[in-house]
Amino acid sequence: MLTSVSTMSRGKAPVSAKNGSIKLVAGNSNPALAEAISSCLNLPLTKAIVRRFADMEIFVEIQENVRGSDVFVIQSTSYPANDHLMELLIITDALRRASARRITAVIPYFGYARQDRKAGPRTPISAKLVANLITHAGADRVMTLDLHAGQIQGFFDIPTDNLYASPVMVRDIKEKFDLSKVMVVSPDVGGVVRARGLAKRINAPLAIIDKRRERAGESEVMNVIGEVAGHTCILVDDIVDSGGTLVNAADALLANGAKDVYAYITHGVLSGGAVARVTSSKLKELVITDSIQPTEAIRKAANIRHLSIAPLIGEAIGRTASEESVSSLFD
């Protein structure tokens, strides 16, 4: 379970193990999360300008001295993914040229993660390309959250910490539900390991949805593996994009006798008509983290709720700066 850094518990900012100077730099992808992380660490965000020229070229200026500092750049590569990725690369280059001692790219949502293999002949592995770009821009470390595929850590030739949102979700589930009546459900076979890990933490049974995708962007629920009748079902996954999988899964679970269906998803991409699809579905509640800044439609949705990952990321940043273990956060 997530614990508190000792320096933060005393109301003090964490200190770098090397020279005591820690800087937090935020891009434009999720300023609210960056501010929350800053508050958790009791550290102000570094003054910087990240803006666009008339032709939409990105310009960055770091307005504080960062020479010799341990710098953490907070930037999800969410929609618009290419703009936010370029911001991250240019900020990193600016910090490298300003003689920052170490640059850690903190990427709560790693865009392009679903392009982690060749899907067919003459297709790219874009996740590897993005990893190369971040490395060559000058990042010394990467910190991210619930990668779509764990092997993406190996795409980087620099140290990479893949954090897990499960401690945050487990705490919320324990507060909201009678665990004796809960069943954790994986919405597809590929997510079984993730769902099993959460089910083990709350000592709940596990069910699986057998899903067959006829064509890209569409999903069809075919079968429920497990006895879900009478249970409150919690769907667990890393990304919700179109929302079709969750809606179809909820329908299948209810058709098999489930009492209610909730979903806990780390990254709420929710593109296109996803919000309308979720709000009009039989899904009781969709719970997502703030790894991606929510749109106005998401904030107004009656059955979509947010959990903050700022304390988790703040804790990991504090431990990284002081050269302490990050993996022990999840023991």
CA distance 99 to 66: 7
Contact present, 277 and 240 (Cβ < 8 Å): no
Dihedral (CA of 239, 243, 244, 247) sign: positive
CA distance 167 to 237: 14
CA–CA distances in Å: residue 293 to residues 15, 57, 130, 205, 227: 28, 22, 21, 32, 36
Q: Which helix (H) or strand (E) holds 277?
A: helix 274-279
CA distance 278 to 250: 10
Catalytic residues: 211
- Residue entry with tokens 């979903």: 263
CA distance 145 to 129: 19
CA distance 120 to 12: 52
Q: What is the DSSP string of 55-103?
A: T--EEEEE-S--TT-EEEEE----SSHHHHHHHHHHHHHHHHHTT-SEE
